[in-house]
Amino acid sequence: MEQNWKVAIHHQREELAKMLHEPLTRLATKCAPAWCDRDKLNEVLLAGFAKIPFCTFLYVVNTDGIQVCDNVSREGLLAEHFGRDRSQRPYMREVVPSWGFLLSDAYVSMRAHRPSLTALHIIRVEGKAVGYLGADFDLRNLPVTSVLYEEPSHWQQIKGDPSIRSTVFQQVRTESLMDRNIEQAFSILEELFEERGVFQAVIHFSSSRATVWFVDDPYRYRILTHEALADPDICMAYPVQPYPADALMPQSSVEPVLNTISLTFSCDGSHYMRYDEFLNKDLGFWFGGS
């Protein structure tokens, strides 16, 4: 079943909360007898640090967000954080649920400038909330507890600059070198897709070039100019690569897709859709009739 990225993140957060809730609850309970004593709080956090999985820093703040102990890390105590005002940090501005545990939304850390999140647990003394145990986590250190998120396959349109949209129908396109040689250029691209390992291409009609990526070297692009797209010999520059058996788009659809995108699209935004949905759209869809 398809899910959007927010649902995928929600499931991931649920798994992380289950992992962190119990050990933080136990540690917050141990902080209560040491309340108002910086050295004792440091000792409690040092003793409990290893029991909080994947943690970067532990600390305690009062209800005003002022830190009342040192930061505790793998390396030990970081005394410079004592007295730090955390009241305006994103995690301190979220509402802690009635059960006393919060896993914050992700934010960018102040010092390392990396995506992070914080877990907070209320510390109670004689039934009264006096502060919070805080645990910071670097997202890169947290395990991924769910499968890789897959982009939904349904059609999506993402609109762009309104100023472009207002003048799009006033534009007149000048014929490019690729336009004059479109059939040969697309035959070459078809060969590269089907037999030479290209898995992605960005075709620039106005500037008569294509940017392509190959399955054997996916982190580097190649630019095919008009000269290359007009010369079938370019195919010999790349080794034969069988069409991937697990490709979402079958090999038989490469040619129809290329033939369809030879239409001129003038749009300020972007369309994302499956290959078969793309092929099934009629001219009315592209030119505003439906």
- The superfamily (CATH) of domain 5-141 is PAS domain (3.30.450.20)
Confidence of residue 9 (pLDDT cuts 50, 70, 90): confident
In the block, residue with structure tokens 């009264």: 128
Residues 206-228: tens digit of each pLDDT: 888 999 999 999 999 999 999 99
Strands 128-138 and 57-62: antiparallel
Identity of the highest mean pLDDT range in 142-146, 213-217, 257-261: 213-217
pLDDT of residue 255: 87
Contact 157, 265 (CB under 8 A): no
Confidence of residue 257 (pLDDT cuts 50, 70, 90): confident
- Checking if the pLDDT of 15 tops 80, the result is yes
For the record, the structure tokens of 128 come out as 């009264």
Residues 85-140: tens digit of each pLDDT: 999 999 999 999 988 999 999 999 988 899 999 999 999 999 999 999 999 999 99
The dihedral over CA atoms of 86, 90, 92, 95, expressed in degrees to the nearest 10, equals: 170
DSSP state of 37: -
- Sequence-separated (6 or more) residues with CB below 8 Å from residue 132: 60, 61, 63, 96, 120, 121, 122, 123
Domain boundaries, the chain: 5-141, 156-286
